[in-house]
Structure 1
């Protein structure tokens, strides 16, 4: 039985209390290909009540019981990888291979890492005569985005289960089908009823109901900074923990001793990956002033190798962006770059040649960008790169830090010591030196308006735990 029009509550697929549907749009065609139900505050009440009932028992499960559960989830997840990838490809436009290897693969990697983390995590220790205990925080509300859906779902559900929490998940209503499959996976793996609950819906209704609910002990949100502010305000009256992974405008500093061609070429690829829809994308490229024109040539050549097309076409490297709203926002920002005096190197407004429908963006590079321009300050969330210049190391560090965001930064250098010195001065949650491999063991999260709290491995697990001190636990 298909579950698109149902919610997963208390271990069963149930109909919404008040029927209301929403079309799911394929961004490659702009056509609806599925429908989901939109939930209400009453549906959230039902899900939270189930999670609250399940918490006392699940919180007392042993490490070995939770490890066995996570291992079963991982095995079922692997068996459904093809289904997940197809759903992600159709609902948010990821090319088929990318949807399987990167989007779906990210979820598998996080589940595997959380199993490894839980095997050795220290929940209790003695300090003097006091027991320091880390205990599950309680019922967690989870609100996840459309751009890396499985990455963010597994980054929340995995550590919550490892901690002994129960939860209610609201995935993005724009890309909800992968989450429905994920709920089916958890059901098949034998997650106890009430531990995991899924309610689809929009932010103003279901998101607000979750974040303001008095029986939700923590809300974990990933999305835009604007929406994150609304979640935090909604949560404030009940003084719950608020974990946020928000927007970014990441700097990519190419130091004078770097291999410029390699650094620029890989920087373009990093910016354009997932059609530019990554909060930590290196969208501001800083190059030495005296090598600006050379860098622009490399960037133009790199950008023009990216073939844009429908998600199901084998030759497609970049699929569409997710929605009409995103398409219009990106077009407006590209036009602002031109109007504000940036040099359009390649790309620009409109769809790529030969594509007359679908939310396709021309891979775009701007040069001679100055720090006050909109394309240098706003999170575009599309395949748009801004190239800025600097003259000294001190200046580029100041320019990189001159943003309300602080999620990630990138440093390229021929000297590891020099790159480390620059990295230590950047106000961001992550710094990537010389394009390293992705590390699921590194903490992920931001400074400033990029959020608070951390995800991945033990850092993610810690965020779902309360700390209790039992004084006098040991005899003096």
Structure 2
């Protein structure tokens, strides 16, 4: 068992003030794999004070110094790849190959992108006789989730370091070990004392204290829409900057000219990746009414072929959901789908065959889902796909947009121009055309109740910068 009962504050591992110990469980086995301490307001005060103290010097560090620092972070991260992968699988149940190839490498890509951007970013421009400069926003609070732990930590920390900000991270208490290893990486890389600080704790205590703290200049939060609203309310007291990456209920529109055998199968597999625990999961599949029977047949076979089981096995495609609490929530929503009259095509409630313990969910597919059903509206955050039908393109667009969320989506068509035309009318921050993957250099974020601001690439870097106009800085000719 890993003892993680210290916080990283002001360049060293320190004893917390909070006394409550929390067991971190492996969702595949229900075994205790780590223990952390839950911080309190005193721990937050200490961490914020360290970040405040470190800000004047780090904010004035040269671009070259920060480039050298991020280069060392990349080097030290590369040395811990397997440690990070094992921790991810152990804590949140991602299959080990998924952890190695996607979870951990996503984190590395964000650091490399921040480094590349820093090398080519000019933090000032001239407008007439005015010089406009980009400066670090200040002391940042970062509150991150368990579902893509390294992805969400690095896409905040790396651009913040590139910008010259100092920070306090509260990782998810459900999956904290990856964050502790990352703190060790930053320490090894020589991040100056106080620039990066880590405090474990829960949202209502540590998260709330960070969001409301008068010396925090910005909160960057990833999590549920409901929690994001609470962060916004707390942050409003002193009008600090807020960046929110929240929930989604993304639509996957398959147009009538797509290759259904290929696209439906692929879409089901992608929905089950990370056990459906991705905010941008395309959980609503929209197909023409005339192609429903064919879609059901393909989707059923695809779902039933997903190898669910021990995440430490390289043969496993889908591990457990993250916790017993999450398992219960997903089970309740599957039952709601059945109760509201959706057709259960594959999966359903209970543990998958052959698995008698752990937080495993059957890869589940519903058909006959109508827009007013709970499973068409609520984010389930589990391996549950809803197949819905549309009459024509206009109907498909209307159904896709009928959501409080606007994070992601997809359009499949044999005609790329047709796909682009439909995508242009979907009210979301991201759209995948014909199965294109995400790009760490491009912006990630949503419309409506899916968030505020953008992460990744230069859009993510911009979030950690303030803009200053220095009038008369350039002499007139």
Query: Could you tell me the TM-score, scaled by structure 2's length?
Result: 0.99
Deviations 1:117-174 (A, max 9, x none): 1111121000111111110000000000000000000000000000000000000000
Q: Report how far residue 18 of structure 1 moved.
A: 3.4
Question: In 2, Cα distance between the equivalents of 1:18 and 1:265?
Answer: 49
Deviations 1:2-27 (A, max 9, x none): 76110000001000023221000000
Which residue is 1:94 aligned to? 94
Which residue is 1:341 aligned to? 341
Q: Report how far residue 353 of structure 1 moved.
A: 0.7
Are 1:343 and 1:367, in contact at CA under 8 Å, matched by a contact in 2?
yes
Which residue is 1:58 aligned to? 58
Which residue is 2:388 aligned to? 388
User: Which stretches in structure 1 are left out of the alignment for 5+ residues?
Assistant: none
Are 2:254 and 2:285, in contact at CA under 8 Å, matched by a contact in 1?
yes
Which residue is 1:44 aligned to? 44
Which residue is 2:241 aligned to? 241
Are 2:308 and 2:316, in contact at CA under 8 Å, matched by a contact in 1?
yes
Q: Report how far residue 33 of structure 1 moved.
A: 1.7
For the residue of structure 1 that corresponds to 2:238, the secondary structure is coil
Are 1:8 and 1:199, in contact at CA under 8 Å, matched by a contact in 2?
yes
Which residue is 2:411 aligned to? 411
Residue correspondence of structure 1 range 435-454 to structure 2 within 5 A:
435-454=435-454
Question: In 1, Cα distance between the equivalents of 2:74 and 2:397?
Answer: 42
Q: Does 1:138 align with 2:133?
A: no
Are 1:3 and 1:13, in contact at CA under 8 Å, matched by a contact in 2?
no
Q: Report how far residue 101 of structure 1 moved.
A: 1.1
Which residue is 1:104 aligned to? 104
Inter-CA distance 3–361: structure 2 relative to 1 (3 Å threshold): closer
Are 2:410 and 2:433, in contact at CA under 8 Å, matched by a contact in 1?
yes
Q: Does 1:401 align with 2:401?
A: yes
Q: Report how far residue 48 of structure 1 moved.
A: 0.3
Are 2:3 and 2:34, in contact at CA under 8 Å, matched by a contact in 1?
no
Question: In 2, Cα distance between the equivalents of 1:314 and 1:79?
Answer: 22
Which residue is 2:322 aligned to? 322
Are 2:143 and 2:221, in contact at CA under 8 Å, matched by a contact in 1?
yes
Q: Does 1:271 align with 2:266?
A: no
Question: In 2, Cα distance between the equivalents of 1:273 and 1:78?
Answer: 24
Question: In 1, Cα distance between the equivalents of 2:18 and 2:344?
Answer: 50
User: Which stretches in structure 2 are left out of the alignment for 5+ residues?
Assistant: none
Are 1:3 and 1:180, in contact at CA under 8 Å, matched by a contact in 2?
no
Which residue is 1:11 aligned to? 11
Which residue is 1:302 aligned to? 302
Question: In 2, Cα distance between the equivalents of 1:268 and 1:330?
Answer: 17
Are 2:51 and 2:197, in contact at CA under 8 Å, matched by a contact in 1?
yes
Are 2:38 and 2:202, in contact at CA under 8 Å, matched by a contact in 1?
yes
Which residue is 2:313 aligned to? 313
Question: In 1, Cα distance between the equivalents of 2:295 and 2:18?
Answer: 57
Deviations 1:345-404 (A, max 9, x none): 010000101111100000000011101111110000001000000011111101100000
Question: In 1, Cα distance between the equivalents of 2:297 and 2:124?
Answer: 56
Which residue is 1:173 aligned to? 173
For the residue of structure 2 that corresponds to 1:430, the secondary structure is coil
Question: In 2, Cα distance between the equivalents of 1:428 and 1:401?
Answer: 8
Question: In 2, Cα distance between the equivalents of 1:313 and 1:357?
Answer: 16
